[in-house]
Amino acid sequence: MEHDSRLGGRVALVTGAARRLGAAIAGALHRAGASVVVHYGQSKTEADALVASFNATRPRSALAVACDLRALETLPTLVEPVLASWGRLDILVNNASTFYPTAVGSITPAQWDDLIGTNLRAPLFLAQACAPALRSAQGLIINMIDIHGQRPLKTHTVYSVAKAGLAMLTKSLARELAPDVRVNGIAPGPVLWPESGLDAELKAEIVAKTALKRSGSPDDVARAALYLAADAPFVTGQIIAVDGGRSL
């Protein structure tokens, strides 16, 4: 993606932005001119390196902030540095996510609390914490959902339930925060394989089930986020599937 200035003067907060999809989204928004807050949980080294690369391109345009999104009382410590640094917040990307198997019959309350907390509860309460600033800026929330919010993934019951809830939260927030704040979602398909790994046969099976017969990339998701942030002022309450037709 080429550098542009469509988001010049705007400020974006991207959760889970130190690595993988979050880093790709943060990079796309930064290249479009936004100042970016890179939230991280434990990936301090990666977050600091990403922020350093952003600031080397445009000084004082990025900041790394650590926060445990499951600890709701700490959420203001994520928002406050944004306002202290730039005095505004235009874009919130709820990207941080926890993903691991939970087969029915062995699900624990701790797993439920962790997966629901990260994938559903945190986006709700962070949106609530950011709402005043977003209203002032006539801003935008982007929730990173998953095609498995509509098509449950075997042995990932709680994760699928959490992402289904996030899809409905996206539509509910779009109603609640209108007309001042737009709220949309992105549901990626096979664009980045789980870090835990998948065997080659299963990867091939998943790709074969996409209409385009190929996997995507983090940049495909980042382009969708940039579209919502820069080129879609009349779009709210929508969930864009970036899945190569996997959800057809």
Cβ-contact 120, 72 below 8 angstroms:
no
> Contacts for 201-207 with beta carbons within 8 Å, 24 or more apart?
206/246
Cα dihedral sign, 224-226-232-238: positive
Q: What is the CA radius of gyration of the chain?
A: 17
Dist. CA 230–CA 232, nearest whole Å: 6
Give kind and range of the element (H or E) at residue 228.
helix 218-230
Per DSSP (E only), the strands in 1-89 are: 11-14, 35-40, 62-66
Whether 159 is a known active-site residue: answer yes
Q: Work out the angle between the directed axes of helices 122-137 and 76-86 (0-180°, nearest 10).
A: 20
Catalytic site residue from 40, 100, 159, 227 = 159
Name the E strands within 174-245: 182-188, 239-242
Find all residues with CB under 8 Å of 88, minimum gap 6, and list them.
10, 11, 133, 136, 137
Indicate which residues carry an active-site annotation: 159
